[in-house]
């Protein structure tokens, strides 16, 4: 898989993100475009439920501002702070190009995820 990029659009703005190459990201690309209702969780992330499960891949506990992750098989996460999660950790899907702080706002947001041109 070449370095695939996605665009995440919301009423708050738009960011691009580069995906890592794993089974989960390949499956994510197959389901795009997708619209997700995302809620704020622990004032560190926005999380939303994908329309289908993604396969598991290697997990890690640490994340940084801009990390895109998968908690459970359908839980897509955008981290806007640095931190860590408990075991079993998250599947890393990729990272936002630049700063993901536009998601650092309380409350829900609707995002559209598409392949980048």
Given this model, what pLDDT does residue 1 score? Answer: 58
Asked whether the whole model's pTM tops 0.85, one would answer yes
Given this model, what pLDDT does residue 98 score? Answer: 87
Its sign, for the CA torsion 89, 94, 99, 102, is negative
Given this model, what pLDDT does residue 3 score? Answer: 86
Given this model, what pLDDT does residue 117 score? Answer: 84
Mean pLDDT of residues grouped by 10 in the chain (117 residues)?
A: 89 97 97 98 96 96 97 97 95 95 96 96
Given this model, what pLDDT does residue 107 score? Answer: 94
Hey, what domains does the chain have and what are their CATH numbers?
Answer: 5-115 (2.40.100.20)
Q: What is the 3-state secondary structure (H, E, C) of the chain?
A: CCCCEEEEEECCEEEEEEECCCHHHHHHHHHCCEEEEEEEECCCEEEEECCCCCCCCCEECEECCCEEEECCCCEEEEECCCEECCCCCEEEEEEECCCCHHHCCCCCEEEEEEECC
């Amino acid at each position: 898989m070449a370095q695939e990029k996605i665009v995440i659009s919301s009423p708050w703005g738009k960011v691009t993100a580069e995906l890592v190459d794993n089974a989960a990201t390949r499956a994510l690309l197959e389901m795009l475009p997708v619209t997700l209702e995302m809620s704020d969780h622990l004032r560190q992330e926005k999380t939303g439920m994908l329309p289908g499960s993604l396969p598991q891949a290697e997990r890690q506990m640490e994340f940084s501002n801009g990390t895109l992750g998968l908690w459970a098989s359908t839980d897509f996460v955008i981290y806007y702070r640095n931190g860590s999660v408990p075991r079993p950790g998250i599947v890393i899907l990729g990272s936002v190009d630049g700063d993901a702080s536009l998601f650092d706002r309380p409350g829900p947001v609707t995002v559209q995820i598409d392949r980048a041109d």
